[in-house]
Structure 1
Amino acid sequence: MNTALSGALYNGGEACGACFKIQCVSIPFGNLQCLPGSIVVTATNLCPQGSTGGWCDEPRSHFDLAEPAFQHLAPPVAGVVNVEYERVSCLRSGGIRFLIQGHPYFMQVLVYNVGGMGDVTAVSVKGSSSDWIQMDRNWGQLWTTGTVLDGQALSFSVTTSDGRTVASNGVADSDWQYGQTFEGNQF
């Protein structure tokens, strides 16, 4: 399940990919009840500020859930509920995914399906004819470089907020194309 986070939690996109365990703790009005249990969600977007009620406005900590996720916490008619939350490890199936976008003079890579802490703090790319190149965060988990790497096999190194790093060597062979997704190693 995915969630949008308020700006206070999203931190300029740095929390993108992080996992949170959330549980309803009280409903401030009416006779509605929180449902038992908790859910684990992945941060994938920024909750827009200025929405009705200001729930996404800083400094509030808010999880903007779609109804299929929300209904695990409380009846959908509850609207907004108080929750307790904590960061948890992300459990993923398969390897880290790298969606390569751009053109010959600008490469943008969406890094997703990241296990462990989930939130990526650094990405490097290595072409078969180059050294490791530190990529720049564009937004969320979109990472960019202006280095021309067309026609080279690609390796990626991903570091998460807990300082752990995993390398995926030779994940894309030399005939990769923009728009393709490749699967690498996992935490």
Structure 2
Amino acid sequence: MEGLCYIFIFCTLVCSAAAAAVADLHWHPATATWYGSPEGDGSDGGACGYGSLVDVKPFRARVGAVSPVLFKGGEGCGACYKVRCLDRSICSRRAVTVIITDECPGGYCSNGRTHFDLSGAAFGRMAVAGGGGQLRNRGEIPVIYRRTPCKYPGKNIAFHVNEGSTDYWLSLLVEFEDGDGDVGSMHIREANSNEWLEMTHIWGANWCIIAGPLRGPFSVKLTTLSTGRTLSAREVIPRNWTPKATYTSRLNFNF
């Protein structure tokens, strides 16, 4: 995203002791295809709203679109999975870790199927050394997958203020969430207030609130979809916030 503006301010992190980071020790069957250029990172944007973040690390070459059963109407955005192919004649034992950034609603992804449409680079990484091209030539392949915690080394949770936001309509996108990766609910708190105002999920990984006039600085509280862990970032969005800016907290989930 262009015009990023980062600010590091004091945050507080509150995690439920009963909740553990999401992880699945069991592999499940699915199918996979690839899209974009053969060695490419996938396409810009996508149904989650991450925009050009998919072209840079840590997303780069790790993006994937999933069928509706995993996309979950956008609430599956940001979740991380390990995907491994099974044909030992061409596939290595190595699994590729992908981050959900898009939805594939039709074709291979329809009729309740569990399907991954991976970037060309991610798809090729499942092959034995030098076999990426051969594997991509197979088209659709059977795979196994499991949920895995997201890891963004050196990154803290950030909140991008979406274009068009005003003092009466505020929309946020969450970035770089370690652990669960997904968001089940979001709330904001205005300056000099003790009340948390609930935000509404609108599409992909985007949330909004209609109220006002809203007065910053804003604290943001998010709760993960998978395990219900909660993070509260105190006054992470400053009083003089601007649309299209990204404001970074100083902490992330521990897992």
Answer whether TM exceeds 0.5 for this pair: yes
* Cα distance in 2 between the residues matched to 1:67 and 1:84: 18
Structure-2 residue corresponding to 1:164: 229
Where does 1:141-152 land on structure 2 (aligned, <5 Å)?
A: 141-148=205-212, 150-152=214-216
* Cα distance in 2 between the residues matched to 1:110 and 1:36: 35
| 8 Å CA contact retained: 1:8, 1:58 | no
Choose between structure 1 and 2 for higher RCO, CA contacts under 8 A separated by at least 6 residues.
2
Q: Does 1:64 align with 2:109?
A: no
| 8 Å CA contact retained: 2:64, 2:98 | yes
Supply the AA of the counterpart residue of 1:57. S
Where do 5+ consecutive residues of structure 1 fail to align?
none
* Cα distance in 2 between the residues matched to 1:44 and 1:148: 31
* Cα distance in 2 between the residues matched to 1:91 and 1:149: 37
Q: Deviations over 1:154-181 (max 9, x none)?
A: 1111111201101110112211111110
* Cα distance in 2 between the residues matched to 1:122 and 1:20: 21
* Cα distance in 2 between the residues matched to 1:26 and 1:152: 55
Supply the AA of the counterpart residue of 1:127. E
RMSD of aligned residue pairs (Cα, Å) = 1.6
Structure-2 residue corresponding to 1:48: 105
Instruction: Name segments (4+ residues, structure 1) moved above 6 Å.
Output: none
Structure-1 residue corresponding to 2:149: 89
Where does 1:1-187 land on structure 2 (aligned, <5 Å)?
A: 1-26=62-87, 33-49=90-106, 54-74=107-127, 75-93=135-153, 94-101=155-162, 102-130=165-193, 131-148=195-212, 150-160=214-224, 161-184=226-249, 185-187=251-253
Supply the AA of the counterpart residue of 1:78. R
Q: Deviations over 1:133-155 (max 9, x none)?
A: 11111112100100235541011
* Cα distance in 2 between the residues matched to 1:129 and 1:72: 51
Aligned residues: 179
SS at 1:55 equivalent: helix
The structure-2 alpha-carbon separation of the partners of 1:58 and 1:113, relative to structure 1 and needing over 3 Å to count, comes to farther
| 8 Å CA contact retained: 2:67, 2:103 | yes
| 8 Å CA contact retained: 1:151, 1:175 | no
**How far apart are residue 48 of structure 1 and its match?**
3.3
* Cα distance in 2 between the residues matched to 1:58 and 1:141: 24
| 8 Å CA contact retained: 2:167, 2:215 | no
SS at 2:140 equivalent: coil
Where do 5+ consecutive residues of structure 2 fail to align?
1-61, 128-134
**What TM-score, normalized by structure 1, do the two folds share?**
0.89
**What TM-score, normalized by structure 2, do the two folds share?**
0.66
